Structure 1
Amino acid sequence: MLTCKAFAKINWAISVLKKRDDGYHDIISLMQAIDLHDTLIFKSSQKIEIETDLPIKKENNLVYKAIKALQNYTGIKKGVTVILKKEIPLGAGLGGGSSDAATTLKALNELWQLNLDIKTLHEIGASIGSDIPFFFYLPICIVEGRGDVVKPLKISKSYTLLLVKPDFSISTEWAYKTLDLKTELTTEYEKINNNIWQLYNHLCSGDVDNFYLWNDLEKSVLEKYPEIDKIKRKLIEAGAKSSLLSGSGSTVFGLFNNKTDAQKALKFFEGYWCKVVQTLVEPLK
């Protein structure tokens, strides 16, 4: 039996470069894991069983898809029982499903004694979902392509965030489709790449006052969901140094100087799902 944590993530920055021929988009993003996590328990079994309260059909669960992809790749016939205890909200832009899938691939590689390397697990994960490869290289990475090109980085400074999620989710597919219609896609790759590295350097040095965070998906999301803009503004009023939509949302995070300030800000968000979290650093604990 194995018990594993599947950590959530936030995006400090996302630029959407262009639409690809395969229907996905090329992006460049600075992503970092946070200490919010799901818990997965893996037990040997003759068949595939997933025990969870999620309102998702087993065949649509990324954990199930990860198991099937690993079976197909290796030809292995073993089954597994997975007990999935969710803490990361669904449709939140925090990568919960992708993290669960990556954690499943890593756990079964150990449980089934497959001895696959990270590169192979990365490729299997990328065949299931765009965000999955990041979760093999925590805690912080620059992610490019459709999410399958990952450059692992190191960081020793942790930051306090307040996560705020309204009572609705946002479709990632919708967010990208709407972007095509309403936003000019950025093509200045060199400039964006430099800005990403500059942001990473500020994160490493703790230069909070010079942070510039961005998300190309925000414009169209804010137009359809004004509640997101309301949350962003309220986080700043509550003392956050900056606030940003994570991924395609619907979670917004506020960056605070410390945990005490973030916890004080909770009173402004009654009725929302909220969580004070820390960004993860090297080495992971």
Structure 2
Amino acid sequence: MLTLNAPAKINWFLKVLGLRDDGFHEIRSLIQKVTLYDQITFAPADTLSIETDIQISLEDNLIYKAALLLQKKCGIDEGAVIGLDKNIPMGAGLGGGSSDAAAALIGLNKLWTLGLATEELLVLAKQLGSDVPFFLHGPISFISGRGENIVPRNALKTLNILLVKPPFDIPTAWAYKKYSHMRSAEILVAGETALSLYYNDDLELTKKAEKVNNIEHFIRNIERADPGDITDDVFNDLESVVIESFPVIAEIKMRLREQGAGFVLMSGSGSTVFGVFDSREKAEEALKSFQGFWTV
């Protein structure tokens, strides 16, 4: 039996641009894996099945979809029993489903001895979801397009990060749809003058607009593990639209700051908010103030 850990992710910033021809939003983001994992096991079998406690149909399960894509690509009908121990909450902006799908591609490629290269798995990953390709790469990457253009970065120093999720989920599609509506109505005011970065066709970093912060400067601040220095450099375009419907997100951010977090941001489309602390002890102390929330 093969066992893999599928990590969660956080977004250090998220810039949402216009709608693409394929109906997805053009985005720019810096994404990092964190040490919160789903555990996935793979064992040979005559048929394909998934064992998990989560309530989701096979047709909507990204692990199952990944397996079908591999079967179709390689022209095989191999089976497997795939076990999913779910620790990453769904609807949290932590990429759990996408990470599970990437782990399924990697695990079944090994279990079925298919010998597919990472580049071949990436082609399949792009069909499964916008975040899935990232999880086939290293610990931190700058992404663009709908998420398929990936520029890996060097691994960062260990940071003390507290994740806080309120007791509700936020569907990604809902957050992006609401963002588009608010932009078209010209009532979105947050983040418009902040960081705006994009890659050209050669994936070279380009700076745009008068107020632009250099991504290299931002990454160096993270590498120094100095969250206080990066507060003004980054933002999440989806945060303001989510807070309008779920003001508790703003309350969590405020409470994290009161507890000493040097940097606080909603991850992805939410509902998880993360805070970066300058010591593990401070993060553990802050955790005590979030009784009733999911925290890690």
TM-score by length of 2: 0.89
| Distance (Å, rounded) in 2 between the aligned partners of 1:91 and 1:37 | 15
| Distance (Å, rounded) in 2 between the aligned partners of 1:117 and 1:194 | 36
Counterpart residue identity of residue 215, structure 2: I
CA deviations 1:219-265 (Å, max 9, x no partner) are 10011100111111110011111211000010000111111100001
What is residue 208 of structure 1 aligned with on the other side? 227
SS at match of 1:54: coil
| Distance (Å, rounded) in 1 between the aligned partners of 2:68 and 2:141 | 27
Aligned residues: CA RMSD: 1.6
| Distance (Å, rounded) in 2 between the aligned partners of 1:217 and 1:26 | 13
| Distance (Å, rounded) in 1 between the aligned partners of 2:237 and 2:117 | 34
Counterpart residue identity of residue 226, structure 1: P
CA deviations 1:31-85 (Å, max 9, x no partner) are 0000100100100011111000011112211110110111111111101100100
| Contact kept in structure 1, 2:18 and 2:26, CA below 8 Å | yes
What is residue 220 of structure 1 aligned with on the other side? 241
| Distance (Å, rounded) in 1 between the aligned partners of 2:68 and 2:108 | 11
* Structure 2, unpaired ranges of 5+: 199-205
- What is the Cα deviation at residue 191 of structure 1? 3.1
| Distance (Å, rounded) in 1 between the aligned partners of 2:78 and 2:151 | 33
What is residue 5 of structure 2 aligned with on the other side? 5
What is residue 280 of structure 1 aligned with on the other side? none
| Distance (Å, rounded) in 1 between the aligned partners of 2:47 and 2:107 | 16
The 1:151/1:194 distance shift into structure 2, 3 A limit, reads farther
What is residue 161 of structure 1 aligned with on the other side? 161
| Contact kept in structure 1, 2:9 and 2:34, CA below 8 Å | yes
| Distance (Å, rounded) in 1 between the aligned partners of 2:143 and 2:73 | 25
Counterpart residue identity of residue 70, structure 2: L
SS at match of 2:144: strand
| Distance (Å, rounded) in 2 between the aligned partners of 1:31 and 1:106 | 20
1:1-285, aligned counterparts within 5 Å? 1-183=1-183, 189=198, 190-191=206-207, 195-211=214-230, 212-275=233-296
| Distance (Å, rounded) in 2 between the aligned partners of 1:144 and 1:262 | 31
* Number of aligned residue pairs: 275
- What is the Cα deviation at residue 180 of structure 1? 1.0
SS at match of 2:23: coil
| Distance (Å, rounded) in 1 between the aligned partners of 2:41 and 2:5 | 9
The 1:134/1:121 distance shift into structure 2, 3 A limit, reads same
SS at match of 2:179: helix
| Contact kept in structure 2, 1:109 and 1:115, CA below 8 Å | yes
The 1:221/1:89 distance shift into structure 2, 3 A limit, reads same
Higher relative contact order, chain-length normalized (CA < 8 Å, sep 6+)? 1
SS at match of 2:77: coil
CA deviations 1:151-172 (Å, max 9, x no partner) are 1111241111110001100011
TM-score by length of 1: 0.93
| Distance (Å, rounded) in 1 between the aligned partners of 2:197 and 2:288 | 41
| Distance (Å, rounded) in 1 between the aligned partners of 2:162 and 2:197 | 32
SS at match of 2:128: coil
| Contact kept in structure 2, 1:30 and 1:196, CA below 8 Å | no
SS at match of 1:215: coil
| Distance (Å, rounded) in 2 between the aligned partners of 1:53 and 1:203 | 37
Identity within the alignment, %? 46
| Contact kept in structure 2, 1:63 and 1:101, CA below 8 Å | yes
The 1:195/1:182 distance shift into structure 2, 3 A limit, reads farther
| Distance (Å, rounded) in 1 between the aligned partners of 2:155 and 2:52 | 34
| Distance (Å, rounded) in 1 between the aligned partners of 2:143 and 2:109 | 24
CA deviations 1:88-128 (Å, max 9, x no partner) are 00111000010000001001111111111111111101101
| Distance (Å, rounded) in 1 between the aligned partners of 2:4 and 2:126 | 20
| Contact kept in structure 1, 2:28 and 2:197, CA below 8 Å | no
| Contact kept in structure 1, 2:266 and 2:273, CA below 8 Å | yes
| Distance (Å, rounded) in 2 between the aligned partners of 1:13 and 1:139 | 16
- What is the Cα deviation at residue 188 of structure 1? 6.2
